[in-house]
Structure 1
């Protein structure tokens, strides 16, 4: 039962670096998302994005009249939408809530180990560094609200009352995002395992 959902979630950000469209703007947005998951908001400079995307110099001013923040905002939306689209498909398919969180946790464990703990979650990085940024803060809030709502929908389908589903979903997303951050610091996936160990029984208890 779990494998199909894990298969969908496994491509959350990895697909951004595979088969990326040749359109310069889209390459830059995808490149910014990839840089941000490794270097955070402060480290996602225009120069770093140009190197990662292979875009020509001068592209930022042409494609992003709002400058670096417009580029980073679009990158966060892309990363957020990549997760949301997979979560939405899984919810529509009737995925149990614990399978969704387990899939996300297992994906990030693999990503962290593969990248030697450099590649975290770009949305989590922005939440930590740019929560009060007038441009990026609202984008982060929208993305996290969307993820929480989708997980809450899965819980409601399992029979949980809506307000309780919202609280449980927010706690689960918070636990995983925090665990990803600490896993990078400790250079160990143990924090994610611990978070999953605490969250999954609660989610699993609501299965139909």
Structure 2
């Protein structure tokens, strides 16, 4: 093999190695993105199902307060025995930048008193990309679905009229480069809010 042939062989080999390396790096980035997006969407899906389960069990507070405290686009506060220990906690779902959090406060004292603020906070989902036109929480009264003019309700919603909540999360781990949002949504009927439970 002549020197020229050897140089050509080395050059071709180097080009092949460089091409393979670029392909490997590109594939690695794509796979990492897919895995991260899958993990984020799975976490969000579990979070939505948890919210649905908890919201369905909304009930009167241990101090006698109405089951729902406030209802806004990205902030929902109500009472529920979230950990099923026989004590009714104040549950606060809210958005903080690109994360959905839940704050829980147990009552204390006799008669029971709920302190201001959240005693414990956990992350429900990350990479939240909901915008103004796509709220995390939407609220519906007893006339839905026959009345679609007044549903979903305008916010802040009248807590005494709420009978159902829609939870909608839009997930995007890289809004600048990713294609479409992953949409996860579900409805929760607030079972304990019957007609006789309306607040005055």
Q: TM-score, normalized by length of structure 2?
A: 0.28
Larger radius of gyration: 2
Greater length-normalized contact order (CA 8 Å, ≥ 6 residues apart): 1
Q: TM-score, normalized by length of structure 1?
A: 0.27
Q: Which has the higher strand share?
A: 2
